[in-house]
Amino acid sequence: MRDQLLCDPLSGYLFLFTNAQRNRLKLLFYDGSGLWVCAKRLDKGRFGWPETEHASVTVLLTAEELALLLGGIDLRSTERRRWHRVTVPTEGKTAALL
């Protein structure tokens, strides 16, 4: 994961992956003592996966966007309102989503 995504799996971020059909998800998270692996397979339908710019394989999601995605909301058809949010520097860390 470090080589392909250029992200550290032990960073504390959640890493979410999907298959080509977009009906399965795997979530990886390191909690300091071990790696959590969670999976979900939809019986019917697909996850509304966010679009990436150009050939990028990673997308950064907020906690709210992740909750919407897992709740079956298509992020492409939602509209983000102007909102003031203070961001904390991540010191070069990035979150990944494939």
The alpha carbon of residue 31 and the mean position of all alpha carbons in its chain are separated, in whole angstroms, by 17
Non-local (6+) Cβ contacts of 84 within 8 A are none
Tell me if residue 96 falls in helix, strand or coil: strand
Identity at 30, one-letter amino acid code? Y
Cβ burial, residue 15 (10 Å; 0-12/13-18/19+)? buried
Q: pLDDT 10s per residue in the chain (98 long)?
A: 556 666 777 777 888 888 989 999 999 988 889 989 999 999 999 888 777 666 667 778 888 888 888 888 877 777 767 777 776 665 555 455 54
